[in-house]
Amino acid sequence: MLTLEQNATIYLMFLNGLLFMGLNFIARSILYPGPRGSKRIGYVLIISALLVFLLQEEYTTLLSLHFPPEKIREVLLAGFCVPVFFLSLLFYRLRRGIREKKSAEKLCKDEDVNGDR
């Protein structure tokens, strides 16, 4: 049987996992917005609202563990949300650059094969 503190820690780990996936989805949606008429922006807004709820849950759980409120904000925002979001943006930007570079190289090779020398 787990103690209340251990249960709260496991709950925080679960919430952090959901928060990570949501921030990752938002970062990907910013760099790959989808075709015109896509519902991705709507999904981003819904995910953003859910992430705010998750942050509030994490805040109240950390308060129940007797963390000081000013430290909780630092831990949640500066320690997790902002770095994860910016690292996700960086990852998808680098991935997009590599993909564009490969497609440009393939296009050049196709032109050479077709006799456009």
On whether residue 14 sits in a domain, the answer given is yes
Apex 40 CA angle, 46 and 24, nearest 5? 70
| Domain limits for position 63 | 4-90
What is the spatial distance between Cα 19 and Cα 6, in angstroms, rounded to a whole number? Answer: 20
CA–CA gap between residue 104 and residue 49 (Å, rounded): 38
What is the spatial distance between Cα 62 and Cα 60, in angstroms, rounded to a whole number? 5
Q: What is the pLDDT of residue 38?
A: 85
pLDDT confidence of residue 51: 96
User: Number of structural domains, the chain?
Assistant: 1
pTM as predicted: 0.82
Please give the chain's pLDDT, 117 residues, in tens. Answer: 889 999 999 999 999 999 999 999 999 999 888 888 889 889 999 999 999 999 999 999 999 999 999 999 999 999 999 999 999 999 999 999 998 888 888 878 777 767 655
